[in-house]
Chain A
Amino acid sequence: MLARALWGPALVAAAVLAACGDAGPSATAAPLRFLHTFGARDAAFLDEALAGWPAPVATSLVPFARGQTVIGALLRAGHDCPDLIRIDATWLPALAAAQLLRPAPPAIRDRDWLPEARALAEDRGQLWGAPQTVDGLVVLSAGDATGPAPATLDALIATAERAMTTHRWGLGLRADGYWFVPFLRAAGGELAAPATDAAAAPDPIDSAAAIAALTRFAELFPRIAAPPASPGQEDATEARRFRAGEVAFLVTGPWALPDLGDVAALTVWPLPGAPRGGHLLVVPACARDADGAWRLAARLTEPEIQTAWARALGTVPTTATALAAAPSAVRAVHDALTAARPLPRDPHTPLLFDDLTPAVAAVVAGDATASEALAGVRRGWARLTEPSP
């Protein structure tokens, strides 16, 4: 009887304590606004991770292709500002230079980030965000990689050529500017926007070496490399060909791992001259709830979540703890990416592909010569540094 009599007051007291307590963000608070660039599969895992977050979060997808333009415009406008943004690492210099981002707080700075991951989030000596993943291009093989990894692009092509059969191509490549970067680098070039300072200008994109590199790249199709997939179908086509054994060596990134079957049996080689990049979680200067945004960024980069995403999505973790717990294939991709080189830290770098990729595709398709196409690229890139009319 006594116990029953005490239940009512106890419940009332518990309700009062719960109402008065400050355990965390209120469910009625304005949702934290999160712009991201995740694909469909990644977004599902994001939703799962956010389900356990104590505050409401409103997520919005920013298509990767227009991300820099859209986010830049949004942050410059200053209204309707998101609190947290997932950006490509190549977008960081432009956003940081325009003072549109907040520097990372100590809680983020002091994490055990991998060196290459920390480098992605730094600009001019300042950490601007939480590295969320590292990516880039590597070479994957399901059984044809018997010897040591080729040290040069020529060696890789030769190995791929030897692996060719009647029903199998040696290489899986994309007719895309990003995939052309290793070939450009192998020819001594680099992906670089024209500098306003003529004295510091690198070799132009239509230099003889670049032309030779693009010519060589295009000649791989379809002699050694599988024909380019239809636009928008690249990921699915490459995965299907690789699983079917139609491609011996697939040049791709960690994002492809979930679709390639038994990844534990894969051999991962570094791609000589490969570009390396990644994604960051940054907080814009106009964020209304910067503290909440940084807390969420920290949560989304905790080892528990990074390890889960590594297992499910092939995401390469950015902390030493998470990497140690990641599957072997993901660790192998990480190791291969350590040999890759980041793209130039220039605000124009992500914009270069807008012109480079159509040119590469035109040459691979046989619609243009490398010199014609790269001349057009040079003209397009030149407009990046010209003042607007």
Chain B
Amino acid sequence: MTAVRSLTWRVLAILAVAVIVPTVVVGGLAIRREQADVEQEVVRGNLALIRAVGASLDATLQDARRALELAGATWADGPGGDPGDAARADRLVRRVRRQVPIVLHLALTSPRGAQLAGDPLPRDVDRGFHSFGGYVGDVVFGDGRPVVPMAVQARSRTGELTGVLVAELDLAFIGEALASARLGPGARLIVVDGRGAIVARSDGGAVGAELRGHDPMIDRALGATDDGWHADDGTVAVFRNLSSFQSLRGVRWSIILEQPEDQAYALAHRTTRDTLITGAIALAIALAFGAWLAARLTRPLAAIATRADAIAGGDTTATPPVRGPGEIGALGDRIEDMARRLGERAELQAALAQGDRLATVGTLSASVAHEINNPLTTVLGYANYMLEDKAADHPDRDGLELIASEAARMKAIVAGLLDYARAPREGDGGPADIGAVVSRVAALLEPQLRMTRVAIGVEIAPDLPDAAASPHAIQQVIVNLVQNAIQAMPGGGAIAVAAAVEDGAIVVRISDNGPGVPAADRAKIFEPMFTTKERGGGTGLGLAVCRRLTSAWGGSIEVGDGPGGRGAMFRVVIPTA
């Protein structure tokens, strides 16, 4: 369910709705229209074919008719003026037979039907009177050959009916024309007369059968007045009337091209299939591209989520910040901005907590120191007083000296607490000459340095400006740090004190070549009561006081490795005056 609601799925769903669905719908309509167009093209192509074949058949019959008309007119108006001249009639018949090769039998009759020349005619043949020029009859099959009667009126120049030429025409040329037609796969051509009798067919099948009333295609073709098409029972057919062929009933013959639909529309079906395959591939590519696009779009979001989780867990270094162009980049920037603000707030809260704790320690220390200091002074005073009259070998002297030294140490601790607890005084803002302060510290500690065989080097940058801090406070800090360094090197060593201006502030570096401060302790050494020294070696307040003082003047203090990675180096920042 979550996966379905994910942005990736939503992007894919949008793609589907916005691209795929319209593509499928529009594509489907286009395919349907294209299929219809191709089918219409098939019909048009087949119609064009039967028009060409039909025109050829028509032309052959019209040529025969015109030849008979011309011969009849010539005979009707010929020299001699006597249409009843048997010799002229014989010459006419012979000439027409020569001129019209499809004539099998030919007779010339008078306007009243009396035969004047040519072949004998059956009595039931319509001799073409009152036929407005002539006619073509029904097909008959003599010796298996399709034959059709044709009657053509022979009229004189005055329009008077002089005779009628009645011919039997051999229609074998129709079968030859159909057989030579270039047809599509599975297609066949049929010519039927007005009764629906098959006159010829391209597939060499049987002829003569009357199909009218039995074949809807034939009925439709013979009922039409021009051309058309019809699809039924898996077969598509186009048909056209043969205008020159008219049966005894007056129905025009028809030429029909039949073709199985699957073969007639093979191109349409193939085109549809190819279009569908191409469309499916295109859609698959579109979907894959959409998925890739969605993943690409959501990957930074997932990284941002991981980053947000890390930030929420308080570890801003576990994952790198998410950067990028556009909205994703802007979101990443906002996340980093938010993380920075959260860090600042955490630091602020920690600082506040630290401040509270230090204030508590300070207040407690001041109270304790105040209560302890006076008795200690008394103890120390009496101890020193009692020592004054004790000889060196007096048995109480060692005990009294121990009391005096321990009391003195306790007073030092109390003094430290009082220093820590003491609020920075107004007017402690300097100015202070750092060079003078450092020189004074060096002079102050010179006996201790010599006793512990520690060398000190001082390097003060020329033209160093005055510091905006109390000289006493600066001295206290530097003394603290130098003493810590001396204590860290009980076997002797070297201490370097350098002061210079960096980034507009005075930076004092106190470094040594002692053991240094372990990384794990560096964040704690500025806490009150934290010490790495042996018991009795330190109060745990020196560095805490240093930080309190540096914070008070608006500077900072931090610790790191000494030069060359050896020892420790404290970096104290003091604002310039």
Contact = CB atoms under 8 A, between A and B. Distances in A.
Interface of A: 31, 35, 38-40, 43-44, 47, 58-63, 65-70, 73-74, 351, 353-355, 357-363, 367-368, 372-373, 375-377, 379-380, 383, 386, 388-389
B390 interface: no
Q: Which of A360, A375, A376 counts the most chain B CB atoms within 10 A? A: A376
Given A43-B224, A61-B252, A66 B159 contact: no
A68 to B, nearest CB: 8
Contacts of A363: 159
B557 to A, nearest CB: 88
Q: Which of A35, A63, A73, A389 counts the most chain B CB atoms within 10 A? A: A63
Nearest to A69: B130
14 contacts: A58-B223, A60-B194, A61-B250, A61-B251, A66-B132, A70-B248, A359-B159, A359-B160, A367-B158, A373-B160, A375-B158, A379-B160, A380-B161, A388-B112
A58 B219 contact: yes
Contacts of A376: 156, 158-161
B7 to A, nearest CB: 43
Contacts of A353: 132
A38 B159 contact: no
Interface in B217-258: 219, 222-226, 246, 248-252
A363 B250 CA distance: 30
Interface in B100-148: 111-114, 126, 129-133, 135
Nearest to B113: A389
Nearest to A232: B243
Contact of B135 (A38, A58, A66): A66
B155 interface: yes
B55 to A, nearest CB: 15
A61 B225 contact: yes
Given A376-B160, A380-B161, A389-B112, A62 B219 contact: no
Given A40-B226, A388-B112, A368 B248 contact: no
B223 A61 contact: yes
B249 A74 contact: yes
B251 A368 contact: no
Contacts of A361: 159
Contacts of A68: 130
Contacts of B113: 388-389
B149 to A, nearest CB: 14
Contacts of A373: 158-160
A362 B225 CA distance: 31
B314 interface: no
Nearest to B77: A367
A69 B194 CA distance: 16
A285 B132 CA distance: 27
B251 A358 contact: no
A62 B249 contact: yes
Nearest to B132: A65
Interface of B: 111-114, 126, 129-133, 135, 155-161, 194, 213, 219, 222-226, 246, 248-252
Nearest to B135: A66
Contacts of B126: 69, 73
B131 A354 contact: yes
A60 B222 CA distance: 7
Contacts of B194: 60
Given A69-B126, A358-B160, A367-B157, 10 more contacts: A39-B225, A60-B223, A63-B252, A66-B246, A354-B161, A358-B159, A362-B158, A373-B159, A386-B112, A388-B113
Given A354-B130, A389-B114, A66 B160 contact: no
Q: Return the 5 tightest CB-CB contacts between A and B, nearest first.
A: A376-B160, A358-B159, A368-B158, A359-B159, A65-B132
Contacts of A44: 225
A67 B135 CA distance: 12
B225 A40 contact: yes
A70 B249 contact: yes
Nearest to A369: B158
Contacts of B130: 68-69, 351, 354
A73 B160 contact: no
B158 A359 contact: yes
A375 B130 CA distance: 18
A355 B160 contact: yes
A355 B114 contact: no
A39 B112 CA distance: 32
Contacts of A380: 111, 160-161
B213 A66 contact: no
Contacts of B246: 63, 66
A368 B114 CA distance: 27
Contacts of B112: 383, 386, 388-389
Q: Which of B112, B114, B161 counts the most chain A CB atoms within 10 A? A: B161
